[in-house]
Amino acid sequence: MRDPFLQTRHRELAARVRAFGDAHLRARPTAEGDVAGESRRLARLLAKEDLLAAAVLPPYGSMDLRSLVVIREGLAYFSSAADAVFATQAVGSYPVALAGTEAQRKRWLAAAAAGEVLCSLALTEPEAGSDLGGLRTLARRENGYWRLTGVKTLISNAGVAGMYAVLARSGEAQGAKGLSMFLVDAEAPGILVRHLEATAPQLIGEVRFEATPALLLGEAGRGYALALATLDTFRPGVGAAACGLAARALDEAVSWSLGRRQFGQLLADFQATQLAIADMHTDLSGARLLVRQAAWSKDGGAARIPREGAVAQLAGTEMAIRVVDRAVEINGGQGVVRGTTVERLYREARSLRVWQGTNQIQRLLIARRVFKESR
């Protein structure tokens, strides 16, 4: 079926990602042991295939949002680890692309597009996740320089990133008004990292800043707006990754149904299996269109896509849970054996309902926009 939201170049890009995944990811979908080393390897591999550049805005990269969601869906179909590397490069570099000086952009973005530097966005804290206005990391200006003190947690690429975009409290104002975004070189003094183990193959950790030197990104007091603009933009990408996981689960369920016999006939011949496959296909098709519609809106000139992005993330991630769960049921006992594809997808799909705002937060964002537009 021809997708009305994609151009020919996006369809060609999807085919290229599929070929890349078949060649490099299918046999090695997750990182075993050395997650940090695997993240660096995948970044180099994505850069070599000229895919990582699509995570960075022009002129240093080639990102448009439809390319990004096509790549994320294609990578997630094969490897959540590869998708995580690509996605973190996008969200980590975006604040620099939007608000950095020309010198800052030149210093970091070309290297990010080439895979020479990994990026990270540091928002969440131990006592402030969904409530960004409750952040406690402090930025103090001393002798013309900014220094950060505080703790960030659940930070992607912690320990391997060469650059962090960090949201911190820079003023006396309470809530969101006192927040600014800062650029931190990972080689700066006063950075301590503690790795955390996630259920999905994604490198995350706690990052502690102890009077760490930092550069202001954009204007002081505008960090909250910059963080929201970043999250809005990349929420369709979360939905796209969910579509990739669901598409793989559907293919695994179909393949198993066509090869597994029970009670003298193929699983595919049972009406219950056919009904499940039909629901899975329909769920996936609908979520995919919502994801691509949101990306199309952004590429069409929308300054922000708060409702469209939240809808895309919510629809995609909730759909993935349903589709993967049905795939596990169709696979029966094999579906819960550690190391099988559908068992891996089951663990990985759950984490997508947490990153970049839980689905409860997405629902609140959607409802508030609906009420605002109806008053």
Taking only the tens place, the pLDDT of each residue in 192-209 is 999 988 777 788 999 999
* Residues 125, 83 share a domain: no
pLDDT at 75: 97
Last residue of a domain, one of 113, 134, 164: 113
CATH number at residue 36: 1.10.540.10
Q: What is the pLDDT of residues 326-340, one digit of tens each?
A: 999 999 888 888 889
Can you read off the two tokens belonging to residue 65? 């949002």
CATH number at residue 366: 1.20.140.10
CATH number at residue 202: 2.40.110.10
> Is 208 a domain residue?
yes
Based on the structure, what is the number of domains in the chain? 3
- pLDDT category, 174, cuts 50, 70, 90? confident
> Is 1 a domain residue?
no
Judge whether residue 306 has pLDDT over 70: yes
Q: CA–CA separation, 139 vs 142, rounded Å?
A: 10
Last residue of a domain, one of 169, 202, 221: 221
> pTM (2 decimals)?
0.94
Q: Whole domain around residue 200: which residue ranges?
A: 119-221
Last residue of a domain, one of 168, 187, 221: 221
Q: What is the pLDDT of residues 52-81, one digit of tens each?
A: 999 999 999 999 999 999 999 999 999 999
* Residues 368, 240 share a domain: yes
- pLDDT category, 354, cuts 50, 70, 90? confident
